[in-house]
């Protein structure tokens, strides 16, 4: 059944106090679907349904709830109940939860946390937000090089219930230096008396705690990993990153890029949960900046006001030229920004990008100009001179737009600015001004007034 229909059923059952139906349905659904339904209920009904979950399933559902609902729960439930929920979370989910909670809630939870775990939590909370350390977990299986396969499997059976993943095991020495990795598959098929040091893979793909999480996600994609070790500066194993956390990072980064490309300040809140004031604030800065920058096009038109008064027909083609230039530039910037995000384009490729965009723009520009010239002369019956001016301007505008659209994201990357900033709104504003200057210059060459 569709999730939206399930939400309506849950509301109906809760209103009718048919708690048995709610409990039965939640036991049947995947925890992710249960969390999605609870996220869309009001806080009171969501908590009411949540309390019908069995204890062993509540923590798992809790880890998938939205920050808004989790904050509401933390304010509505008793301290002991909240502490029990947090204790049952995997360590990385616990860190994610604490990062989003109000300071008084974090303080309340840490006060009842054992000293050793509290130190670890504080260490994790101090990692930079976009670092590998901020998304890693300490719940992994570690083995010693001198273990036999039989001993390793016994160790895994004993520790597995408390670990987030057991499919890849990490081999360390007495000082916790990372020596290698071994998969559960290799352990299962190997001779029980084989030593781990003879079985492990010493070529380990690892990251440092302060490496950027986007870099981490690119390594996962490149090497098709399910998990990756995180080491400190002395190559000591401090945690691992799992594929589910990388998927969250990719979603967050893609959302941020899309928001920047649309001229919106990035936010982690969902569209529905944001207040109109917050949404307006996130959009207003860019709209104001683009509005002010657009005054340059007005200044250019004012400068050629006398020219336009004597040749009014030229003004009719300004919107078409500006729109085509903006669209052409946006196409190039979108492709380059995506290429940078996927690692397909590097900053050293700047000349290759410019050359390619130039060749593309010549083909596109000439095609558009030829079609436009025929349209103006045959259908619109505009004079040949005016048609030629508009068509030549179209070629030059497309060439400039595509080069600018391809170049600006690369320049942004070089100076450590998010390339997504150099997207449609900004490119369009720049190209509009350039298109007008070119238009009036070419018109001045062909039309003597």
pTM of the model: 0.61
As a whole number of angstroms, the distance between CA 22 and CA 12 comes to 10
Residue-wise pLDDT tens digits, 25-43? 898 889 889 988 998 888 8
As a whole number of angstroms, the distance between CA 124 and CA 101 comes to 15
**Sequence-ordered alpha helix ranges (H) in 226-317:** 243-261, 276-293, 295-303, 305-310
Structure tokens at 33: 């679907």
What residues are paired with 183 via a beta bridge? 168
As a whole number of angstroms, the distance between CA 220 and CA 243 comes to 8
pLDDT at 222 over 80: yes
As a whole number of angstroms, the distance between CA 267 and CA 79 comes to 30
Q: Which letter, b or e, does each residue of 42-72 get, where b requires 16 or more Cβ atoms within 10 Å of its Cβ?
A: eeebbbbbbebbeeeebbbbbbbbbbbbbbb
| Structure letter (DSSP) for residue 346 | -
Residue-wise pLDDT tens digits, 67-119? 788 888 877 877 777 777 777 777 777 777 777 776 666 766 666 667 667 67
Band (pLDDT 50/70/90 cuts) for residue 268 is: low
pLDDT for res 272 = 65
Average pLDDT score over the chain: 84
149 CB contacts (<8 Å, ≥6 apart)?
187, 190, 191, 192, 193, 194, 195, 196, 199
Chain length of the chain: 449
pLDDT at 1 over 60: no
pLDDT for res 280 = 78
Which residue in 86, 106, 108 sits closest to 98, CA to CA?
A: 106
135-164 average pLDDT score: 90
pLDDT for res 157 = 92
Structure tokens at 332: 């190039």
pLDDT for res 297 = 75
Comparing 50-59, 141-150, 416-425, the range with the smallest average pLDDT is: 416-425
Band (pLDDT 50/70/90 cuts) for residue 423 is: low
pLDDT for res 156 = 93
Question: What φ, ψ does residue 237 adopt, rounded to 5°?
Answer: -75, 120
Report all structural domains of the chain as residue ranges with CATH numbers, in order of start.
Answer: 3-126 (1.25.60.10), 142-249 (3.10.580.10), 294-446 (1.10.357.20)
Residue with tokens 């069995």: 54
Residue-wise pLDDT tens digits, 229-259? 999 888 999 889 999 888 888 887 777 777 7
As a whole number of angstroms, the distance between CA 240 and CA 231 comes to 9
Which of the given ranges, 80-84, 303-307, 339-343, has the highest pLDDT on average? 339-343
């Amino acid at each position: 059944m569709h999730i939206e229909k399930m939400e309506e059923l849950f509301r109906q059952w809760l209103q009718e106090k048919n708690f048995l139906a709610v409990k039965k349905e939640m036991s049947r659904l995947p925890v992710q679907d249960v969390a999605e339904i609870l996220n869309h209920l009001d806080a009171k009904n969501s908590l009411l349904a949540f309390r019908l979950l069995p204890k062993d399933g509540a923590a798992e559902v809790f880890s998938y709830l939205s920050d808004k609902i989790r904050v509401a729960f933390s304010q509505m439930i008793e301290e002991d109940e909240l502490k029990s929920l947090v204790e049952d979370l995997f360590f990385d989910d616990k860190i994610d939860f604490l990062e989003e909670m109000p300071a008084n809630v974090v303080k309340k939870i840490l006060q009842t946390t054992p000293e050793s775990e509290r130190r670890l939590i504080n260490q994790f909370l101090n990692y930079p937000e976009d670092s590998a350390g901020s998304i890693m977990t300490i719940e992994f299986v570690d083995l010693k090089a001198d273990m036999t396969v039989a001993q390793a499997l016994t160790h895994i059976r004993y520790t597995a219930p408390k670990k987030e993943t057991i499919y890849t095991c990490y081999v360390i020495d007495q000082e916790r230096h990372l020596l290698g990795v071994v998969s559960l598959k290799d352990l299962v098929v190997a001779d029980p008396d084989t030593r781990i040091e003879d079985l492990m893979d010493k070529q380990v793909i690892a990251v440092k705690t302060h490496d950027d999480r986007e870099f981490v996600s690119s390594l996962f994609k490149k090497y098709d990993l399910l998990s990756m070790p995180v080491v400190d500066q002395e190559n000591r194993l401090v945690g691992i990153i799992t594929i589910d956390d990388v998927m969250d990072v990719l979603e967050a980064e893609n959302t941020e890029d899309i928001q920047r490309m649309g001229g919106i300040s990035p936010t982690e809140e969902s569209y529905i949960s944001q207040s109109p004031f917050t949404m307006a604030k996130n959009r207003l800065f860019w709209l104001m900046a683009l509005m002010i920058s657009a005054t340059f096009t007005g200044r250019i038109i004012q400068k050629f006001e006398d020219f336009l008064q004597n040749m009014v027909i030229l003004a009719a083609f300004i919107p078409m030229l500006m729109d085509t230039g903006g669209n052409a530039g946006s196409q190039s910037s979108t492709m380059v920004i995506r290429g940078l995000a996927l690692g397909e384009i590097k900053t050293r490729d700047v000349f290759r990008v410019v050359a390619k965009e130039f060749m593309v723009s010549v083909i596109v520009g000439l095609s558009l100009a030829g079609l436009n010239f025929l349209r103006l002369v045959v259908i619109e019956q505009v004079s040949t001179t005016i048609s030629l001016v508009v068509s030549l301007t179209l070629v030059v505008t497309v060439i400039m737009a595509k080069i600018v659209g391809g170049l600006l994201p690369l320049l942004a990357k070089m100076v450590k600015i998010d390339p997504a900033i150099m997207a449609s709104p900004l490119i369009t504003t720049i190209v509009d001004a350039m298109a007008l200057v070119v238009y009036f210059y070419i018109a001045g060459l062909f039309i003597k007034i």
